[in-house]
Chains A and B, each alone.
Chain A
């Protein structure tokens, strides 16, 4: 296949085919970002429909009509699947990974540009397969994003025969796409750092995305094998998970959650990396305990392989194993808490400017704290007996997933928008969008903590059949949550308007509008193909902000030590 697209001469005519067939890591990053945002619209519409059904059971939902219980299950399944695999992963891992890793490491592209393009194409195919599954007979798969057999393995039970198989195929394709992408990220980050850049000169977001890619590669294998077995169960009638033939449904749960828990750290770490970058830049301060954060990220990654069965405390596993997993689950809360404390400590002694990216970053820390602490209730096996699969669990993981997928993504988009598109976003619109989204988010999920503690169980499409739950008080809470969701969704067009208008008519951005240190700010914005006129050499760490006797409060990594500003500083001294 001729490498026409990558030949610099041809690249300049921005024909649509060249764009579609480009292997430039920045173009591929944008393709992932836009696909992720598009899928977020579908995920958002799904949650609007079924939350309206929960608030006003049985009534016709505007733009959708009456929701049957089968449709409800499909909408819930699609919301969960899309938001994790087709919004959080592509935007956080693939879009920011593809855009930032070559730029922040000071090289011109990923080591395997064509494999990078192939990974997006496989991802696009997986998105098409998933969306196609909405329209097959029987509708989209209705067995929850965890797809527990025998419900998922047996069309007689889930009544969405084709939707179920297409769902597994789409998720498997998405895994292949991120395996291809992961190999690219890890190899590029390991081998092609800029000259002079030592291990701890690599910015934290690159560390986090690489650790996340390693976690993903190490955890997805068993589930891919499980997915092959599940498709055979569905299509060929083998009995891997069918007890009648000797199989075991618990085997799938273990295969799934052995992947599932590292997966939530795969999406958490990039968001933590983005937030750390933004906090360091906008408080003009060195990241507190940079090495500690990297070590705790690695420790969190390793421990995340020992905690998976806390999703299955009451699922029929051996109760003694549950005691073991309670201990490991509470142990993993220690490094994560350490990381968040380091973020908060970074603010101490800073000079904080509350631009929109910083607002989002601080909101991430504030909201994620509640997500983290409510995890303790569920990690403790005793309390999980009552709380498992209630809305308390749902509220907990939305207080972790929403900061990760939505707040983390908005932090990254608003921070790197000038670098991506060469123009500045509008601050006023940014702040309006920020405050309404954050307040609405809390209005949704605080009530759901309460309804969850009161006994609301997940994926039940109408509570009127349960006398203890059909009380007006609880129904008011469910309506409040839905109103919160509607107001959250209604403010998103402000962001899309700001995003599209600024891309075309926003004020022109300089190369380094936020006065940051990392290498991508030394490239012009938007960076041309090949990123840097001449590839930068690195002289110091990425967080040399406000060094004592330097007049500027920032010190880009690529400036030689004897740079024009008068006083040589006490910061890292290194011969070029």
Chain B
């Protein structure tokens, strides 16, 4: 393993360095999604007419995807709990369940999008659809990033090493879930 600098061993503010860094990453992500969703909400307030564009989104797939992400959040927090109990292999298994959840989420979204695009609602067929694909797309990119990081963490966790990373990637995953919790009503319920 790399010889880690002594700087990381210090813990002056009482929060482990890894987790402190994840909180700061979340702070910058909050502002990123805040800006995008804020712009979308402002545009929705101006354009009442988007409601009938939004009527074409399938609430059931959105609801199912929310369920999938909530479940993957559950397995992420259970993985963190297993890591707290120094049970690396169990944590790694639960992390892989979370990755599976993310995969299902992306698959459902893929089917949903192909259906909508085949029906003619592409990213350029109106500003609602532009925001719909941009916001959901940016969120999906964060889901993919989370899945990749989680896979790397599950490799080391399986060998009972660096178990604190399980919690850190879990916090990031919960953030991605919270973003979707707000995306769901904005894109699917506001009709």
Contacts and interface: CB of A to CB of B under 8 A. Distances in A.
A220 B33 CA distance: 11
Given A108-B6, A113-B5, A221-B30, A240 B130 contact: yes
B159 to A, nearest CB: 17
B39 interface: yes
Interface in A198-249: 217-226, 228-229, 232, 236-240, 245-248
A301 interface: no
A514 B39 CA distance: 52
B60 interface: no
Given A192-B7, A217-B27, A236-B123, A246 B42 contact: no
Contact of A183 (B21, B43, B124): B21
A107 B134 contact: no
A190 interface: yes
For chain A, what secondary structure do more than half of its interface residues adopt (helix, strand, loop), or is it mixed?
helix
Interface stretch (B12-20, B70-78, B102-110, B180-188): B12-20
A6 interface: yes
A221 B6 CA distance: 32
Contacts of B10: 107, 191-193
Given A179-B28, A221-B30, A228-B134, A107 B127 contact: no
A111 B31 contact: no
A21 interface: no
Contacts of A3: 1-3
A188 B15 CA distance: 12
A184 B18 CA distance: 10
Interface residues of A, number: 50
Contacts of A237: 124
B3 A240 contact: no
Contacts of B33: 221, 225
B31 A191 contact: no
Nearest to B36: A225
A395 B47 CA distance: 41
B17 A192 contact: yes
Interface in A1-41: 3, 6-8
Nearest to B5: A109
Given A3-B2, A110-B5, A221 B34 contact: yes
A190 B13 contact: yes
Given A193-B12, A238-B123, A246-B127, A232 B134 contact: yes
A251 B39 contact: yes
B29 interface: yes
Contact of A238 (B5, B38, B130): B130
Nearest to B37: A225
Residue among A107, A187, A240 with the most chain B CB within 10 A? A187
Contacts of A6: 2-3
A111 B5 contact: yes
Interface in B78-126: 123-124, 126
Contacts of A193: 10, 12
A535 interface: yes
Contacts of A102: 7
Given A6-B2, A239-B127, A112 B21 contact: yes
Residue among B31, B36, B134 with the most chain A CB within 10 A? B31
Contacts of B148: none
A10 B123 CA distance: 52
Contacts of B46: 246, 248
Contacts of A255: 35, 39
A114 interface: yes
Given A192-B10, A236-B124, A251-B39, A217 B24 contact: yes
Task: Give the interface size bracket for B toward A.
Answer: 35 or more
B127 A190 contact: no
A107 B6 contact: yes
A477 interface: no
B39 to A, nearest CB: 6
Interface in B116-149: 123-124, 126-127, 130-131, 134, 138
Contact of A108 (B7, B13, B130): B7
Interface in B30-56: 30-36, 38-39, 42-43, 46-47
Contacts of B24: 182-183, 186-187, 217
Contacts of B12: 190-193
Interface in A283-322: none
Contacts of A219: 31
A251 B31 contact: no
B39 A191 contact: no
B32 A221 contact: yes
Contacts of A258: 35
Nearest to A237: B124
B31 A247 contact: no
B20 A190 contact: yes
B27 to A, nearest CB: 6
B35 A222 contact: yes
Residue among A190, A226, A236 with the most chain B CB within 10 A? A190
A217 B5 contact: no
Contacts of B47: 246
A413 B83 CA distance: 47
B25 interface: yes
A228 B138 contact: yes
A112 to B, nearest CB: 7
Given A221-B35, A229-B39, 9 more contacts: A7-B3, A182-B24, A187-B20, A191-B7, A191-B10, A191-B13, A191-B17, A222-B36, A248-B43
26 contacts: A6-B2, A7-B2, A107-B10, A108-B5, A109-B7, A111-B5, A111-B7, A112-B8, A113-B5, A183-B25, A187-B20, A190-B20, A192-B7, A193-B12, A217-B27, A221-B35, A222-B35, A222-B38, A223-B35, A224-B35, A226-B35, A228-B134, A240-B127, A240-B131, A245-B127, A247-B127
What are the 9 tightest A-B residue pairs by CB atom distance, in nearest-first order? A222-B35, A3-B2, A221-B31, A221-B32, A225-B36, A238-B130, A109-B5, A192-B7, A107-B7
Interface of B: 1-3, 5-8, 10-13, 15, 17, 20-21, 24-25, 27-36, 38-39, 42-43, 46-47, 123-124, 126-127, 130-131, 134, 138
